[in-house]
Amino acid sequence: MKVACLGGGPAGLYFAISMKLRDAAHDIVVYERNRPDDTFGWGVVLSDETLANLSANDPGSAEAIRQHFAYWDDIAVHYRGQRIVSTGHGFCGIGRKQLLILLQQRARELGVKLRFETEIESAAEFAKTHDLVIASDGLNSKIRNELAPCFRPDTDVRKCKFVWLGTHQKFDDAFTFIFEETEHGWIWAHAYQFDSDTATFIIECSEATWDKFGFAAMTNDESIATCERIFAKYLGGRGLMSNAGHLRGSGWLNFPRVLCERWSHENIVLMGDAAATAHFSIGSGTKLAMESAVAMADYLHSESSMQAAFRKYEDARRSEVLRLQSAARNSLEWFENIERYLHLDPVQFNYSLLTRSQRISHENLRLRDKAWLEGAEAWFQRRADSNSPNVRRPMFAPFRLRDMTLKNRIVVSPMAQYKAVDGCPTDWHLVHYGERAKGGAGLVCIEMTCVSPEGRITPGCTGLYAPGHEAAWKRIADFVHTETDAKICCQLGHSGAKGSTQLGWEEMDAPLRQGNWPVLSASEIPWSPCNQRPKAMDRADMDRVRDQFVAATRMADRAGFDMLELHCAHGYLLSSFITPLSNTRTDDYGGSLANRMRYPLEVFHAVRRVWPAGKPISVRISANDWVGEEGIEPEDAVEIARMLQEAGVDICNVSAGQTSIRARPVYGRMFQTPFSDRIRNEAGMATMAVGNIYEPDHVNSILMAGRADLVCLARPHLADPYWTLHAAAKLGDRGESWPAPYHQGRDQLYRLAESAGTMATSV
Ligand SMILES: Cc1cc2nc3c(=O)[nH]c(=O)nc-3n(C[C@H](O)[C@H](O)[C@H](O)COP(=O)(O)OP(=O)(O)OC[C@H]3O[C@@H](n4cnc5c(N)ncnc54)[C@H](O)[C@@H]3O)c2cc1C
Ligand SMILES: Cc1cc2nc3c(=O)[nH]c(=O)nc-3n(C[C@H](O)[C@H](O)[C@H](O)COP(=O)(O)O)c2cc1C
């Protein structure tokens, strides 16, 4: 096969090598604009895992690379006068120039022709004269731009400014992050050794800080002098160096995230940075480039035709690229939003930094550095005023709100059961909530319980508007308090425009087939074209419903609930005021966010006045309507939380969506947790996170990184009322209390968990 690789970076060279290894008869030329030994950039990082992949492809070049590696296991973080070190991270660095020289040597050895100082302007001629053309011309690929209508690239230029420098100062004991506060804001460095006397020193900051320093107007030398001054105390008198002479001005850039819709066109294939980029903070660009080169070479030899190989290449590599780009996005967003985390204690800041890409879980950190993680866990327990003599995972730390202390951080999220009769909870509810309280969660939140018959969502919804309701709930709360050490929270709500609809397992949110009742909302906007047109509430309606909330609150107190939650989420009545999608009022209750919050806050204040001072109140909100800027977006949710906090709300339960049939949620593991993170760390308010959180590992990492104070699990508690006790048994935590009649079952479970653990470590 006659092949041209346009661009002699890691992608082009390693593809040429991989092809020759599979068939020495291939005729391959690599074209490169630079000379063999001039290159921008300093060192690159590769992980142990990547090196193992390279070894499997070509042991010779992998060994040559390995011999030039600088290894380090530690990550050191300089922050607020402390240097915190954790270990077990297993990275290696190599000079980019060294890597390219090794790859060039290996390519020559295998008979690849290398044509340096050759600028390529177009792929067209090559496509005619070669069987295959690899567009490996990097981030600013001319070939990708030439064929942009075919490849359809999407480029997302990110917010931070960065510059890639080098230094002879030693950073040979750890990959080092340095966070410095300056007169113009925070600026930070990612530093790592890559040969015996040189380290990479990437400096990054927000655009605002960069502007204030005036970097835009500086020459390269002035910019370096400024950076040397900022980081002087870490440089030990050594200077910073640039080799980005090819870049104009001071060498600072914004990172562009590139992803192409198509990776091949006729016989031209994109590879490496030309096809997709991954932010340098997860150090995966070279890995992606080289692993894609191996995959393409493989498929060209395993598939029946070149087009079939291209299809397989795109299918297989795209998912890997998306996975890494998603981790890279989490990581770069952490740096972009760093202001949010700069109030954190150094221990928590460090944890948040290490887990920023969400690829490293809590238990994975334990495998890397048990002592460090246990130190962090002990810090968490101390902060939680735990009196446990043992180090325990964050999920088992107590949490206090007003006079209520929860034994742990797990909440049974409110879940409608649709089993009430005329609003009255039944034996179903006693058994259902009783079981979940026995199951170990610190807090059991009951389903949305409605303040009036018309305020119910469905005929099966529970209420607190009749004396019988109060007595039935009291029976449940008494059981929880007598038989367990869980607390119980009453979620109060009014259905609004989503009321008078069918049971959850029938046609959800659709009007009743018969017996509908009139519904209210902020404005006359039906939930969907099939639902009733609600009446827009007038002042009398607002007073009446507010008073119904107050009456229900009094009943909840007498029934013995420990905590109250106002349901202001998911498109129900109070939520319908908050989101502009359902509130088009022109009075004091519509328009600005402050106006749209007015009625929910009036209800909150009225309820707070009659709810005992020692008992907390939470408010559940939808932090994202998932319709873009027309609806509530996460930054609005921060404002909402600030208003709630100012009003005296103790904790914000951060849910999202269900406010419009137009919503297009982006689902995924812990997909709503970023909203809780943002509220907790920007508004400084206690939060509960919820949404597709199902592993103890998720819970522990959310809590330890300071992304929420409590974690709600809904569906996992439908599947397993004993989720918390089972998690504790599996994790080897023996501090959770089981009901006395179940002790023999507990002991057996512990023994089984221990022998499973021993077997797992012995195989
Ligand atoms: C600050 C920073 C730090 C990074 N750190 C890491 C890291 O730690 N680990 C990691 O894995 N990755 C890192 N990367 C990313 C990494 O450098 C790239 O992802 C990797 O080099 C991609 O390889 P490539 O062959 O696709 O592209 P490149 O390495 O960019 O190679 C493309 C080659 O094509 C040549 N070329 C371009 N246009 C033409 C033309 N018209 N004619 C002829 N030749 C041309 C270029 O000169 C270049 O040699 C970092 C990137 C940045 C910006
Ligand atoms: C059957 C069911 C009923 C629900 N009912 C309520 C409810 O009454 N009040 C409420 O705020 N959320 C309700 N939710 C939403 C959950 O509390 C939770 O926010 C959502 O299910 C996401 O959490 P998960 O991924 O752990 O299930 C309900 C969820 C389910 C599955």
> What pLDDT score was predicted for residue 763?
40
Q: Distance between CA 20 and CA 25 in Å, rounded?
A: 7
Strand order of the sheet with strand 70-72? 43-47, 91-95, 70-72
Q: Distance between CA 212 and CA 453 in Å, rounded?
A: 59
> What pLDDT score was predicted for residue 152?
97
Q: Which ligand gives the minimal distance to the CA of 672? A: 2
Distance 749 CA to ligand 2 centre (A): 29
pLDDT band, very low/low/confident/very high, at 542 (cuts 50, 70, 90): very high
The amino acid at residue 736 is: E
Question: Of all atoms in ligand 1, which is nearest to the CA of residue 202?
Answer: 1
| pLDDT at position 39 over 70 | no
Within 8 A by CB and 6+ apart from 374, the residues are 366, 391
Query: Cα dist. 509→103, 497, 604, 660 in Å?
Result: 62, 10, 26, 11
Q: Decide: 195 and 168 in contact? Cβ < 8 Å.
A: no
The amino acid at residue 25 is: A
Please state the rounded mean pLDDT for residues 339-354: 95
| pLDDT at position 247 over 80 | no
Ligand 1: residues whose CB is within 6 Å?
Answer: 7-12, 31-34, 41, 44-45, 119-120, 136-139, 142, 164, 202, 272-274, 280, 283-287, 289
Strands 185-195 and 175-182: antiparallel
pTM (global) more than 0.75: yes
pLDDT digits (tens, 9 = 90+) for 401-453: 999 999 999 999 999 999 999 999 999 999 999 999 999 999 999 999 999 99
Query: Rg of the Cα trace of the chain?
Result: 30
pLDDT band, very low/low/confident/very high, at 116 (cuts 50, 70, 90): very high
Query: Cα dist. 385→400, 408, 680 in Å?
Result: 9, 12, 20
Please state the rounded mean pLDDT for residues 242-258: 79
* Whether residue 690 has its Cβ less than 6 Å from ligand 2: yes
Q: Which of 133, 259, 280, 288 to mutate to test the pocket of ligand 1 (most atoms within 8 A of CB)?
A: 280
User: Is 715 strand, coil or helix?
Assistant: helix
pLDDT band, very low/low/confident/very high, at 92 (cuts 50, 70, 90): confident
* Whether residue 414 has its Cβ less than 6 Å from ligand 2: yes
Most distant CA pair in the chain, distance: 89
What percent of the chain clears pLDDT 70, i.e. is strictly above it? 98
| pLDDT at position 762 over 50 | no
**Shortest-distance Cα residue to atom 23 of ligand 2:** 691
Per-residue DSSP letters for 163-230?
A: EEEEESS--TTSEEEEEEEETTEEEEEEEEEEETTEEEEEEEE-HHHHHHHTGGG--HHHHHHHHHHH
Q: Distance between CA 53 and CA 66 in Å, rounded?
A: 13
Q: Distance between CA 373 and CA 393 in Å, rounded?
A: 10
CA-based torsion, 427, 432, 437, 438: positive or negative: positive
Which residues of 32-99 form beta strands (DSSP E)? Answer: 43-47, 70-72, 75-79, 82-86, 91-95
> What pLDDT score was predicted for residue 45?
86
Q: Distance between CA 114 and CA 560 in Å, rounded?
A: 80
Q: Distance between CA 139 and CA 464 in Å, rounded?
A: 62
Please state the rounded mean pLDDT for residues 743-754: 96
Within 8 A by CB and 6+ apart from 140, the residues are none
Distance 480 CA to ligand 2 centre (A): 21
> What pLDDT score was predicted for residue 258?
94
> What pLDDT score was predicted for residue 245?
61
> What pLDDT score was predicted for residue 40?
65
Mean pLDDT (the chain) is 95
Q: Distance between CA 259 and CA 733 in Å, rounded?
A: 44
Of the candidates 495, 517, 518, the one whose C-alpha atom is nearest the C-alpha of residue 508 is 495
> What pLDDT score was predicted for residue 678?
97
* Whether residue 717 has its Cβ less than 6 Å from ligand 2: no
Q: Decide: 399 and 409 in contact? Cβ < 8 Å.
A: yes
> What pLDDT score was predicted for residue 494?
98
**Shortest-distance Cα residue to atom 2 of ligand 2:** 415
* Whether residue 447 has its Cβ less than 6 Å from ligand 2: yes
Please state the rounded mean pLDDT for residues 627-644: 98
Other CB atoms within 10 Å distance of the CB of residue 201: 27
Strands 563-568 and 617-622: parallel
| pLDDT at position 393 over 60 | yes
Strands 2-6 and 487-493: unpaired
As given in the structure block, the two tokens for residue 227 are 């950076």
Q: Which residue in the block uniquely carries the two structure tokens 């939650």?
A: 565
User: Is 649 strand, coil or helix?
Assistant: coil
**Shortest-distance Cα residue to atom 31 of ligand 2:** 715
User: Is 654 strand, coil or helix?
Assistant: strand
**Shortest-distance Cα residue to atom 51 of ligand 1:** 280
Please state the rounded mean pLDDT for residues 651-659: 98
Q: Distance between CA 191 and CA 170 in Å, rounded?
A: 9
Q: Which of 410, 411, 412, 413 to mutate to test the pocket of ligand 2 (most atoms within 8 A of CB)?
A: 413
Helices 539-559 and 467-483 cross at an angle (nearest 10°) of 40
pLDDT band, very low/low/confident/very high, at 243 (cuts 50, 70, 90): confident
pLDDT digits (tens, 9 = 90+) for 193-237: 988 889 999 999 999 999 999 999 999 999 999 999 999 999 999
As given in the structure block, the two tokens for residue 290 are 């080289």
Q: Which residue in the block uniquely carries the two structure tokens 């091949």?
A: 264
**Shortest-distance Cα residue to atom 5 of ligand 2:** 415
CA-based torsion, 625, 629, 631, 634: positive or negative: positive
| pLDDT at position 614 over 80 | yes
Please give the angle made by the CA atoms of 241, 244 and 248, to the nearest 5 degrees: 125
Q: Which ligand gives the minimal distance to the CA of 290? A: 1
- Residues marked as catalytic: 572
pLDDT digits (tens, 9 = 90+) for 566-595: 999 999 999 999 999 999 999 999 999 999
Cα-to-chain-centroid distance, residue 312: 29
**Shortest-distance Cα residue to atom 30 of ligand 2:** 415
Q: Distance between CA 501 and CA 483 in Å, rounded?
A: 36
Question: Of all atoms in ligand 1, which is nearest to the CA of residue 11?
Answer: 25
**Shortest-distance Cα residue to atom 22 of ligand 2:** 691
pLDDT digits (tens, 9 = 90+) for 288-333: 999 999 999 999 999 999 999 999 999 999 998 998 888 899 999 9
Q: Distance between CA 423 and CA 272 in Å, rounded?
A: 61
3-state helix, strand, coil in the chain (%, to 5): 45, 20, 35
Question: Of all atoms in ligand 2, which is nearest to the CA of residue 620?
Answer: 11
